[in-house]
Amino acid sequence: MNATLYIVGTGPGDPQLLTLKAAHVIRNSPVIVAPRGSRNCPSTALSIIEQIVQTGDKTVIQVHFPMKKIKTGREPDPEVRAAWNFAAKQVLHHLERGLDVCFPTLGDPAIYSTGYYLYDTICAIKPEVSVRFVPGIPAMSSCSAVIGEPICLGDEMVAVVPATFSDERLRDILLHFDTIVLMKVHRVLDRLVELLGSIDLLDRSVLVERAGTDEEMAYTSIESIKRPPHYYSTIIVRKNGNGRRPMVHKRSTGSRSNHSAESAFGLTTAVARRSSRI
């Protein structure tokens, strides 16, 4: 088998954050197998790359990966296992015909991505398969850029965790690390607000929603958010932040105000909104 599977990070949303290498690999892959989180919505990773690379002449297969908790070392939900197997078979089918396959994945494949589960599943079926990884810009880097706050400096320690951990586990992490990046916050925001408030970290927490897209928003008063945020939301808790707060984007076309966000969510602190592509 001469063909290669490329597991490619697409960055978090802004197509300009797709790396040159990612674009090159995608352009040269005749087959794209793209993950989607819902049966009814198109793949986000695919929609990012389609803004940069023509896919009309490629075979494009979208595979639904159910969003269920996966615990390291434990067998996943059967639906999840079935999705990994299905994707692996699609990939192998094309590799066996000598066609390179690209599997685009949001952000970086090394961070909470389906890419490595697919890799493991394929290796279990055909260990000699050729697989290459192309890193991408992680969502947390894009969120950090939105709010003008570093993730770590000097001797600071960072934890990157799903916010779906138990309160007890999260509390330990929040107490122990200097910066905590909370991912997958969308279903547990109320619980997080309570927890962060109980250890006096609410004023150190910023939620960034859909970084790098036209809907990008940053919220400093996360306790004021009145609706579940989008799945593409991340909270950065930085204990040593020096008061830097979400910046209004200064773009050549000028900044747009956030009136629509204020009226929709009753917020006065949602200050960053993407106005146009740089």
Q: Which residues bind ligand SAM (CB under 6 A)?
A: 12-13, 106-108, 111-113, 138-139, 143, 183-184, 208, 210-212, 231-234
* R_g (Cα) of the chain, nearest Å: 20
Q: Is 202 within 8 Å of 251 (Cβ atoms)?
A: no
- Cβ-closest residue to ligand SAM? 107
CB of 25 to ligand SAM, least distance (A): 17
Position 31, amino acid: V
CB closer to ligand SAM out of 7 and 208: 208
Helix ranges, 201-265 (H): 259-265
* Closest distance to ligand SAM from the beta carbon of 94 (Å): 24
Distance (Å, rounded) from C-alpha 107 to C-alpha 213? 13
Given the complex with ligand SAM, which of 61 and 182 has the nearer CB atom? 182
* Under 8 Å between Cβ of 129 and 162: no
Shortest spacing between CB 227 and ligand SAM, in angstroms: 16
Distance CA 269, CA 35 (A): 34
Residue for token digits 């509390």?
171
Task: Determine how many CB atoms are found less than 10 A away from the CB of residue 253.
Answer: 10
In angstroms, what is the minimal distance from the CB of 99 to ligand SAM? 25
CA distance 51 to 107: 16
**CB-wise, 53 or 143, nearer to ligand SAM?**
143
Distance separating alpha carbons of residues 34 and 226, to the nearest angstrom: 33
Q: Which is nearer to ligand SAM, 35 or 241 (CB)?
A: 35
* Alpha carbon distance 65, 1 (integer Å): 27
Structure tokens at 17: 């954050």
Q: Which is nearer to ligand SAM, 29 or 141 (CB)?
A: 141
Q: How far is the CB of 144 from ligand SAM (least distance, A)?
A: 10
Give the nearest distance from C-beta 205 to ligand SAM in angstroms.
14
Distance CA 185, CA 152 (A): 21
Q: Which is nearer to ligand SAM, 184 or 249 (CB)?
A: 184
